[in-house]
Amino acid sequence: MTLSVRGLVSGYDRSAVLGGVDLDLASGATLALLGRNGAGKSTLVMTLAGLVPVTSGSITVDGVELAGRRADVIARAGVALVPQGRRVWSTLTVGEHLALASRSRKGTWTVDGILDLLPRLRERRRQLAGQLSGGEQQMLAVARALLTNPRVVLLDEPSDGLAPAIVEQIAAVVTTMRSEGVAVLLVEQDLHLAFGVADEVAVMARGEIVHRVPTAEFRRDPDTAQRLLGVA
């Protein structure tokens, strides 16, 4: 299994958020992670990336234990995070972002390959990231993650605030990642995007994964979606 999580507990100073998460994700699998606001989705992906400390439990990538390791060690082990709200470096250019990211792990993804996939970024190569539109910043955040040639990609609401055309491009990038054997965990509110790219759907509630089924099965069961998410 590319990513295996067992009994993962984590949280912030005064509050435990994750209450023992178990999660397996295979190479080339895409799992959509849904859940109400505050369910703990971002806390899960940030814990997996080493940005929220692990209280207890195990996280392995290709069999290597990563729980309790530093974020940079986890990144070098092949875990890439596209955080909620993008977080690009506003005073670096697009080209500088890509050059930095491509230093980490060599593999199939190159700067040229990424720019072919996201031509808008090629046009903006010399521009400061802080001057990009929201959609362009999101593309840059995705490009930066891919250039580290990850085994596992954690995308936290990549479609947030984006025009449909850009959401389509992100969907195409996720599909390409899947065909390259990357394990993708996609936190998403946009159900159209989630259903379009994910093999399976998982739902988080109160810091636990309470439901996980193939996407087609989830779509056939609106009652469960309504009960867990409050949507039809």
Ligand X SMILES: Nc1ncnc2c1ncn2[C@@H]1O[C@H](COP(=O)(O)OP(=O)(O)OP(=O)(O)O)[C@@H](O)[C@H]1O
12 binds ligand X (CB under 6 A): yes
Q: Which stretch binds ligand X (CB under 6 A): 11-19, 88-96, 163-171, 174-182?
A: 11-19
Number of residues binding to Mg ion, judged by CB under 5 A: 3
86 binds ligand X (CB under 6 A): no
41 binds ligand X (CB under 6 A): yes
Distance CA 36, CA 45 (A): 15
Distance CA 43, CA 69 (A): 16
Angle value at C-alpha 114, between 112 and 120, nearest 5 degrees: 100
Instruction: Tell me how far, at minimum, the Cβ of 39 lies from ligand X, in Å.
Output: 4
Which ranges of the chain would DSSP assign to H, the alpha helix? Answer: 41-48, 71-76, 94-101, 111-117, 119-123, 134-147, 164-179, 191-197, 215-219, 222-229
Distance CA 125, CA 162 (A): 20
Give which of ligand X, Mg ion, none residue 38 binds (C-beta under 5 to 8 Å, depending on kind).
ligand X
Instruction: Tell me how far, at minimum, the Cβ of 59 lies from ligand X, in Å.
Output: 16
83 binds ligand X (CB under 6 A): no
Residues in the chain: 232
Give which of Mg ion, ligand X, none residue 35 binds (C-beta under 5 to 8 Å, depending on kind).
ligand X
Window 65-84: contact mask with Mg ion (x via CB under 5 A): -------------------x
Residues 6+ apart with CB under 8 A from 139: 118, 120, 121, 166, 169, 170
150 binds ligand X (CB under 6 A): no
Distance CA 80, CA 65 (A): 16
42 binds Mg ion (CB under 5 A): yes
End-to-end CA distance of the chain: 33
Instruction: Tell me how far, at minimum, the Cβ of 176 lies from ligand X, in Å.
Output: 26
Distance CA 121, CA 124 (A): 5
Give which of Mg ion, ligand X, none residue 17 binds (C-beta under 5 to 8 Å, depending on kind).
ligand X
Distance CA 218, CA 215 (A): 5
Residue closer to ligand X (CB basis): 40 or 135: 40
Give which of ligand X, Mg ion, none residue 91 binds (C-beta under 5 to 8 Å, depending on kind).
none
Asked whether 193 and 215 are in contact (CB, 8 A), the reply is no
Instruction: Tell me how far, at minimum, the Cβ of 155 lies from ligand X, in Å.
Output: 12
Q: Give the binding site for ligand X (CB under 6 A).
A: 12, 15, 17, 35, 37-43, 84
Q: Give the binding site for Mg ion (CB under 5 A).
A: 41-42, 84
